[in-house]
Chain A
Amino acid sequence: MQKTKQRLLTGNKAIAEAIRLEMERDPNVFVMGEDVGVYGGIFGATEGLFQQFGPKRVIDTPISETAFIGAAIGAAAEGMRPIVELMFVDFFGVCMDQIYNHMAKIPYMSGGRVKLPIVLMTAVGGGYSDAAQHSQTLYATFAHLPGMKVVAPSTPYDLKGMMISAIRDDNPVVFMFHKTLQGLGWMDQLDASVGHVPEEAYIVPIGKAKVVREGTDITIVGIQMTTHHALEAAKKLEQHGIQAEVIDLRSLVPLDRETILQSIKKTHRLLVVDEDYLSYGMTAEIAALAAEEGLYDLDAPVRRLAVPDVPIPYSRPLEQFVLPNADKIFHEAMKLVNE
C-alpha cells in the first residue's frame, strides 16, 4: 500500500525540482554555468529550468569558471542568490582564487557586512572510466578552508531538501552531487540513484548526519557513494552475525560530530570510508575526532578505507582497484570486529 504512494525521482530531477521551487518562490534566485540552459546541465541538475524561466534566469556562460564564480560573488553582494554550476569539481583549479579567497573570505573581511548566499554546485565521483582529471571526489579540499559550508547528499530525498537549505542559507554553500547518483542513462544504473521525493518544498538541514542503518557491533561512516556501499556491506555483515551501524554524513561542514560520537559509544568500533584521497582527508578528520573525544569508547583502533594517494586511473580495472566498494568495506569491517 505504502509503495503506491511513492513518487520516484532520480537525483538530478530532485535537484532540478528544488531549484525550480526556489526560483518560483524567490525572484532573486538564478542559475548560471556551462551548459545549464537549453541542455539542462551535463548531469541534468538544471533540466527544464531554462524552458520555464528563460535565458535571464538560467544563464549559459562562456567557458570561464573564474568569471562566473567571481560574477556570482558580485551579484550575491548586490542581493541576488546565485546558483552556479562548476561542471566537474576537478575544474576548481582554474578558479580556486575566486572560491577560497573571495567567496569564502569576503564576508569575514567585510566584518560581516557582506553576505554571499551562493550555491556552488559541482559534480564529484569516479567509477565510469573518466580519468584523473574528471573523476575526483574532492571533499576535503573545500572542507579544509573556512568560510564555506560543504554538503554532499546521498539520496534524491536529501538532494532536494539540502539544495533548498543551501539556496536559503546566507552563507556560501558548496553543494556536491555524485554523478553516479544522478540517474543518468549513460551511467551504470543504480537503485540508489532513484528514490521517493515529495512534491512540495521541504528542508533537510545542513550539518546533520543521518543514521541510515542501526547496529551494535561496528560504526561505518560514509558519504554519498560510500554510504550506499556501506549499506550493501552491512547486509553481508549481517549474514555473518554482525550488526553494522551506518552513518551518512551528508554534510562535511559543519560536521555532525555528535552523531558519530554517540554511535561509537554504542558500537565501540569505527570504520570510516571515503571516495576522496586517503591522506589529510575526511577519514583522518573523523579518526582524529574519535581519538580526541571518543578514544575510551573504542575497543580497537580506527580503520580508514579511502582512495590511495594516486590519481584516479583511466583504465577500468585499475580504477576499480582504488575505489572503495561494498566488498572492501565488508573485509575491512570483518578485520575490525575480529580485532
Chain B
Amino acid sequence: MFDQSQLQFEMIQLLDENGNGDEKELASFSDEFLVTLYRWMRKARVIDERLLKMQRQGRIGTYAPFSGQEAAQIGSVLALEKDDWIFPTYREIAACLAHGLPLAQIFRYVRGHLSGGRTPEHLNIFPIQIIIGAQTLHATGCAWATKLKGETQVSVCYFGDGATSQGDFHEALNFASVYQVPVIFFCQNNQYAISVPVHRQTASRTIAQKAVAYGMKGVLVDGNDALAVYKTMKKAVDAARNGEGPILIEALTYRLGPHTTSDDPTKYRNAEEAEQWRSKKDPLRRLRVLLERRGIWTEEKEEAWVAQVNDEVTAAYEEAAADETGSIVDAFNYVYGKPSKLLQEQQEDARRKRKQEVK
C-alpha cells in the first residue's frame, strides 16, 4: 500500500526570509532583473493599498486585495513571453499589470465599468474570473487550441488553494494531462479560502502532489521567494513550450489582508500568525535586503519610486472616473455579437427610461 508520506515534495527556495541564499545561484540574476522585479512588486503593493483605501471611500466596488502574494504573481508573470496567455482570478491584479494590462483598465474594472473586463486587443489576458476554479478549463482549452494550431504560446492558469476542491480543477488536470497540452496550473496556496484553512480544504500534505494522480509533474515552491518562483516558472514554461505537457505548481504564500473588502480576517485567523507573515516572511522585504546588499537599491530610490507609482495611480483613477461611456443602454450590445430584435426593443426601452431619469 502506498502512503502519501512517501511523496516527498521539497519546497524550492533560493532566497530565505532574511534575504540570504546560495551566492552562486543568486549571482545568476542580473542587477537589472532584480531591480525590475522589485520595482514591480513594490508598485503592486502600493496599488493594492491604494485600491483598498479607495474601496473604503466608496470610490470602487468590492475588492479582493493581494498584498503578500506579490512574489508569486510578479515572479511567475515575468517568466512568460509577451504573447503567453494568462487566466487570472479577481486576486491577480498584480499578475495582470505585469503582463501588460494598463492601470486605468484595472480602475475601469474595479469601478464596474462595462468595458472593464475588456482586455486590449494585443494582450493575451483572459477576462478576470470570479467563479472559483472555472478558469482552469478555459486555460486548458486555450492551450489545446494553441497546440492544435501549432502555435507556441503557453497558457498559465492562476487559482488558489480553495479552487483545488472544485470539480473543475480535477477535470482540468485530467483533461490537460490526457491531451498533453501546454498549460501551467499555478496555485497560490495562500492558506485560506475566505475563513477556511487549507487543512480543512484537503487532506493532502501538499497541493503539488495532486499532480501525481493525473500523471502530471508537480512542483512546490516558496511563493514568497520571487526568485524561486521566477526560476521554477521559467523551467515549467520552457518544458510546456517544448511539448512536455502540463505542470502543476504550488506556490506557498499568505494573504495578508482580508479575502475581500467584505470580510474581517481577525475573526478567523490568529493575529500572531498574520503578524509573522507580515513582518518576517514578507516577500518584498527579503528581496529588498538582497538588493541593498548588492548596492542597487536605497531608501531614496524607494521613496522616489513609491511617489511615482502614487502619481500613476491617481492619474489612472482619474482617467477611469472621467470615462463616461458604458451606460446601461450599451449593456445590450454585448450580450450577442449583434443584439436581436427583442434586445433592441429592450434597449430602446432602457434608453427611454434613462432619459426620463436624467430629466
Which A residues lie at the B interface, using CB under 8 A?
28, 30, 56, 61-62, 64, 66-80, 82, 97-98, 101-102, 106-115, 146-147, 149, 169-171, 207, 253-255, 257
Q: Which residues of A contact B172 (CB under 8 A)?
A: 67, 70-71
Taken together as a complex, chains A and B put the C-alpha atoms of A253 and B339 apart, in Å, by: 11
Which of A67, A77, A80, A146 has the most chain B CB atoms inside 10 A of its CB? A67
- A56-B148 contact in complex given A71-B137, A101-B131, A106-B127, C-beta closer than 8 Å: yes
C-beta contact mask, B150-173 vs A, less than 8 Å → 1, else 0?
000001000000000001100110
Contact across chains for B134 and A98 when beta carbons are under 8 A apart: yes
Q: Which residues of A contact B333 (CB under 8 A)?
A: 112
Taken together as a complex, chains A and B put the C-alpha atoms of A199 and B118 apart, in Å, by: 42
Contact across chains for B134 and A74 when beta carbons are under 8 A apart: no
Is B337 interfacial (CB-CB < 8 Å)? yes
Task: Identify which of residues 311-353 in chain B touch chain A, using a CB-to-CB cut-off of 8 Å.
Answer: 331, 333-337, 340-342
Contact across chains for A80 and B134 when beta carbons are under 8 A apart: no
Is B38 interfacial (CB-CB < 8 Å)? no
Is B273 interfacial (CB-CB < 8 Å)? no
Contact across chains for A74 and B140 when beta carbons are under 8 A apart: yes
8 tightest Cβ-Cβ pairs between the two chains A and B: A70-B137, A74-B141, A111-B118, A71-B141, A74-B142, A78-B145, A67-B171, A254-B340
- A110-B119 contact in complex given A62-B175, A66-B167, A73-B138, C-beta closer than 8 Å: yes
CB distance from A156 to the nearest CB of B (A): 26
Q: Which residues of B contact A78 (CB under 8 A)?
A: 85, 141-142, 145-146, 149
Closest to A107 in B: B334
Closest to B141 in A: A74
Name 29 A/B residue pairs within 8 A (Cβ), A-sorted.
Answer: A28-B149, A62-B175, A64-B171, A70-B141, A71-B141, A71-B144, A74-B87, A74-B138, A74-B139, A74-B155, A75-B142, A76-B141, A76-B145, A77-B126, A78-B149, A97-B168, A98-B134, A98-B168, A101-B131, A109-B127, A110-B118, A111-B117, A111-B118, A113-B118, A113-B119, A146-B335, A147-B335, A255-B342, A257-B342
Taken together as a complex, chains A and B put the C-alpha atoms of A71 and B172 apart, in Å, by: 8
8 Å CB contact of B144 from A74, A98, A146 = A74
Contact across chains for A74 and B143 when beta carbons are under 8 A apart: yes
Q: Which residues of A contact B178 (CB under 8 A)?
A: 62
Taken together as a complex, chains A and B put the C-alpha atoms of A67 and B126 apart, in Å, by: 17
Q: Which residues of A contact B127 (CB under 8 A)?
A: 106, 109-110, 113-114
Which B residues lie at the A interface, using CB under 8 A?
85, 87, 114-119, 121, 126-127, 131, 134, 136-146, 148-149, 155, 167-168, 171-172, 174-175, 178, 331, 333-337, 340-342
CB distance from B166 to the nearest CB of A (A): 9
Q: Which residues of A contact B174 (CB under 8 A)?
A: 62, 64, 67
Q: Which residues of B contact A28 (CB under 8 A)?
A: 149
Contact across chains for B341 and A254 when beta carbons are under 8 A apart: yes
CB distance from A192 to the nearest CB of B (A): 28
- A97-B131 contact in complex given A107-B334, A110-B117, A110-B118, C-beta closer than 8 Å: yes
CB distance from A82 to the nearest CB of B (A): 8
Contact across chains for A67 and B118 when beta carbons are under 8 A apart: no
CB distance from B181 to the nearest CB of A (A): 9
Contact across chains for B134 and A102 when beta carbons are under 8 A apart: yes
Closest to A74 in B: B141
Contact across chains for B342 and A75 when beta carbons are under 8 A apart: no
Closest to B179 in A: A59
8 Å CB contact of A111 from B85, B131, B138, B334 = B334
- A68-B155 contact in complex given A110-B127, A113-B119, C-beta closer than 8 Å: no
- A112-B141 contact in complex given A62-B174, A66-B168, A80-B148, C-beta closer than 8 Å: no
Contact across chains for A67 and B140 when beta carbons are under 8 A apart: yes
Contact across chains for A111 and B114 when beta carbons are under 8 A apart: yes
Q: Which residues of B contact A71 (CB under 8 A)?
A: 137-138, 140-141, 144, 172, 175
Closest to B115 in A: A111
Closest to B178 in A: A62
Contact across chains for A67 and B175 when beta carbons are under 8 A apart: yes
Q: Which residues of B contact A75 (CB under 8 A)?
A: 141-142, 144-145, 148
Which of B114, B171, B342 has the most chain A CB atoms inside 10 A of its CB? B171
Contact across chains for B334 and A112 when beta carbons are under 8 A apart: yes
Contact across chains for B146 and A66 when beta carbons are under 8 A apart: no
Closest to A82 in B: B141
CB distance from B76 to the nearest CB of A (A): 19
CB distance from B114 to the nearest CB of A (A): 6
Taken together as a complex, chains A and B put the C-alpha atoms of A170 and B126 apart, in Å, by: 18
Taken together as a complex, chains A and B put the C-alpha atoms of A101 and B132 apart, in Å, by: 12
Closest to B167 in A: A66
CB distance from A62 to the nearest CB of B (A): 6
- A77-B175 contact in complex given A66-B168, A111-B115, A147-B335, C-beta closer than 8 Å: no
Contact across chains for B137 and A74 when beta carbons are under 8 A apart: yes
Contact across chains for B171 and A112 when beta carbons are under 8 A apart: no
Taken together as a complex, chains A and B put the C-alpha atoms of A171 and B141 apart, in Å, by: 17
Given contacts A70-B137, A111-B115, A114-B127, 19 further A-B contacts (CB under 8 A): A66-B137, A70-B140, A71-B141, A72-B141, A73-B137, A74-B142, A74-B143, A75-B145, A78-B146, A80-B148, A97-B168, A98-B168, A107-B335, A111-B117, A113-B121, A113-B127, A169-B337, A254-B340, A254-B342
